Amino acid sequence: MLQSFRTLRETLSRKRLVPKTLLARLALLLLVIWGFLAGLQKAFPSLAPGSIAFSAWFVKFLLTATLIILAYRWLTRKFMWRLRNRLIVTYIFIGVIPLVLLGTMALLGAYLFAGQFSSFVVTSDLQSELKRLSDLNTNITSEVLPIVRRTGAPPKSADSMVTLTSSEFANRDVVVFLHGKPYVLQHGSKQDVRMTPPPTNSESAIVLDGDALYLRAVSRVPIAPKDVMTVVSSVPLDTERASRIASDMGVIALYCRSQSTAKNFVESPGHIKIGDTYLDPTPKVSAGTLPPPKSRWDVEFLPPGALISASDWNSATTTQIFMTLRTRPSLLYARLFRTLGEMTSVIVGALIAVGVFFTLIELGALIVGVRLTRTMTKSVASLYDATQRVNQGDLAHRINVKSRDQLAALETSFNSMTESLEKLIAEQKEKQRIESELAIAKEVQALLFPRDITELETLEVHGICRPARTVSGDYYDFLPVGPTRLGIAVGDISGKGISAALLMATVHAFVRAYTLVEQVPELLSTTPAGRSIALASVALRDGTLPPGLLLSMLNQQLYRSTPTEKYATMFLGFYDQSTREFTYSNAGHLPPMLVGSDGHVRELETGGTVVGLFGDMTYPDCCAQMNPGDIFVAYSDGVTEPENEFGEFGAERLVELVRENRDLSLSRISDIIIAAVTDWIGGDEQPDDITVVLARAR
């Protein structure tokens, strides 16, 4: 059964019917759960319908969100892979969406501007009506005041008053309040005249008196120290007057504060709420007409309304009237440019020309963007194809560069890179060949260092060399000379690498050849130094030349067979266990040291300059006595010259290490010395070859 399931799963995976990602598997699981809940809801409608429906809705919501995320990933993986599609999306976000946002902001700004402009026009017209009414009321007051002062009462007949007989406000009511008594001078409206005096703080304003709106002007004139005459002119703000105000603007509607509470507002959703103010759904005044559109773009719209301050005549408080205006753009346009006259067509033509110019610029930018996109995508496609060819090993493939832009420079750089890769691969092969040869050279050089050391009964020796590179230019050797003598040679070749290693092999061969021969008459007779040494009757000791003579012969041989700039430092000494004498000569090498059992240190520096640099050089010999426990220490400059922030490692630190560990084996002492030098260098590269040669008398 398990094997059948695995086979089915592998088959579905090969056919790509099994989702691979965790999110896709989650979507499949949610789909199964949602289908199960939907089937359960249909099969058992009476089984906890609320909980099952909510569970199905919640799973459906999660499934929809998961599918949206999967669709987004699929689109970004499939559609956004190509650079052209990415550039198109980038252009949409950079070019199209900002234009849409700017257009939306412009339309929204125009809409808000239209609302503010229409509100300003209507409120200005209302204020103009109120201003004219207030001016007429002031004129009435100036005509009534002399009569009141002369007779003590206003005139009973107003037919003789010029202001009252004017026809500007035919439906006007004029009432004079004197000594607390009202006197009706004119009753032109069809409504009852307000016979109560106005509140003390009332002024000329739009007034809400009962259920009606009025334009009401109030003028007060003192006639005695404690008596004031008040003249009130009132005009109903009805449909007729509102129609005259909105005659060229559209349909105006004025809404007053509702007497309903917040609770009643909830129960009566038809009410209009502005902040904390509830307005009646039915306007107090609605007037005006909307003309037919002048074009298909001359649509009817409702700009944002405006709040107009009014005065509540009964409570002497300020209230708000909400005004709306249904209008058309042609009406606002005509009102806005009313004062321009013939210049209107010029301005309209200029705006149209600017719009056409901007459209042409946008089209030109679109064409240029498409062309640039094609050049960029073509170059990227060429680069992609070239990388695929190179990935397949075709390093000879080159891109045909046709343009001179930065992408063309990138294509040129790619061609240069492939050419460099060809050269690099060839160089890498050559480097591998050289490294193989260096490995062989390292193995050969390792054979030159002494492996099987023949020690004497009274002398134990040990040496180690750690190259800074693959091969070393340092040299050391132990030379067995007869049953009771042992030679120690330590050298350092100028330079590093292969040339130093080759010269080191030459020195090794020379030293071995000159040390182990029993007679060297030819060499003694071919050099001036050899002749002078022969004349000095230097005798052979057990068939071996003294170290100074050997160094002279080695110097002459290197001087004749190597370039001028090549030379070597060399220390050569022979230990005789019968006498415990150590005869040596030093040719420019760092002086080895004899560390006595009592801690006393003696440097072995007798000798001359380096070998191979000058011809016809002589090197004196010197003898040192080695008592039991004395340790001979020879080293190269790679031990004492490495530096860090504390300075050089130095010979004193080397001697101190030998003193502290003198009772250990020589191999252990050399390991301690090399470890100390390595720690002193730290993480830096080893600057030079490290060679340490130790010998201890027993």
Q: For 291-335, how does the pLDDT look when each residue is reduced to its tens digit (9 = 90+)?
A: 888 888 888 888 888 888 888 887 778 888 888 888 888 888 887
Cβ contacts of 56 within 8 Å, gap of 6 or more? 34, 37, 38, 41
Please compute Rg for the chain using Cα positions: 58
Question: Does the domain formed by 449-697 have CATH 3.60.40.10?
Answer: yes
Would you state the pLDDT for residue 341? 66
Burial of residue 78, with CB atoms counted within 10 A of its CB: 0-12 exposed, 13-18 middle, 19 or more buried = exposed
Span 203-262, pLDDT tens digits: 788 888 877 888 989 998 888 777 888 889 888 888 888 888 777 788 889 888 765 544
Would you state the pLDDT for residue 535? 40
- Asked if 607 contacts 588 with a C-beta cutoff of 8 angstroms, the reply is yes
* Angle made by CA atoms 477, 482, 483, in degrees to the nearest 5: 105
Q: CA torsion sign, 521 to 527 to 528 to 532? A: negative
- What's the Cα-to-Cα distance from 590 to each of 505, 610, 619, 650, 673, rounded to whole Å? 20, 11, 15, 12, 17
Would you state the pLDDT for residue 39? 82
Average pLDDT over every residue of 264-274: 49
Would you state the pLDDT for residue 241? 84
- Asked if 312 contacts 208 with a C-beta cutoff of 8 angstroms, the reply is yes
Tokens read off for 630: 């004395």
DSSP per position, 298-310? ---B----EEEEE
- Asked if 618 contacts 532 with a C-beta cutoff of 8 angstroms, the reply is yes
Cα separation, 533 vs 545, whole angstroms: 11
The answer, yes or no, to whether residue 269 has pLDDT greater than 70, is no
The answer, yes or no, to whether residue 616 has pLDDT greater than 80, is yes
Would you state the pLDDT for residue 393? 79
Task: List, in sequence order, the alpha helices (H) in 152-203.
Answer: none
Tokens read off for 625: 């006595």
Burial of residue 596, with CB atoms counted within 10 A of its CB: 0-12 exposed, 13-18 middle, 19 or more buried = middle
Supply the pTM of this predicted model: 0.47
Helix (H) or strand (E) holding 560: helix 547-561
- What's the Cα-to-Cα distance from 511 to each of 9, 499, 508, rounded to whole Å? 78, 18, 5
What is the percent of the chain with per-residue pLDDT over 70, rounded to a whole number?
Answer: 86
Span 450-489, pLDDT tens digits: 877 778 889 999 999 988 877 888 889 998 888 889 999 9
- What's the Cα-to-Cα distance from 483 to each of 129, 457, 460, 516, 517, rounded to whole Å? 141, 10, 14, 13, 16
Would you state the pLDDT for residue 534? 45
Span 629-669, pLDDT tens digits: 999 999 999 999 999 888 999 999 999 999 999 999 999 99
Instruction: Work out the widest C-alpha separation in the chain, in whole angstroms.
Output: 171
- Domain boundaries along the sequence of the chain: 22-78, 104-336, 342-447, 449-697
Tokens read off for 427: 């160089």
Tokens read off for 527: 């050099």
Span 376-420, pLDDT tens digits: 777 778 888 888 888 887 878 888 887 777 777 888 888 888 888
Cα separation, 45 vs 156, whole angstroms: 87
Nearest to 235 by CA among 90, 338, 130: 130
Span 127-143, pLDDT tens digits: 888 898 898 888 888 88
